[in-house]
Amino acid sequence: MRRWRHLDLGAHRCFLEAEIVRIDCARCQWVRTEELRWARPNSRHSRDFQDVVTRLAQRTDKTTITELLLVS
């Protein structure tokens, strides 16, 4: 089970959880994991969360971002 931080819902933190499927590729002999629409590979945050942080980083200071999104 994997977990990703998503945008908060009001005063409550929101996390997305999903079971990731592992796929054994017979052609290339690699074990691959399923890709999810809401998360980039090797990320612990949803795409939406990362996009909001990126947009805010272009417009405001780091202290404001950490207080608004409850991140460090």
3-state secondary structure of 47: helix
The pTM of the full predicted model, rounded to 2 decimals, is 0.82
Q: What is the mean pLDDT of residues 6-20?
A: 94
| Bridge partner list, 2 | 18
Residue 24 parent element (H or E): strand 22-24
For 22-63, the pLDDT digits (tens) are 888 888 888 888 899 999 988 999 999 999 999 999 999 999
**Quick check: 43 and 50 in contact, CB under 8 A?**
yes
Do residues 69 and 57 touch, judged by C-beta distance below 8 A?
no
- Name the one residue in this structure whose structure tokens are 């780091």: 62
Q: What is the mean pLDDT of residues 10-22?
A: 93
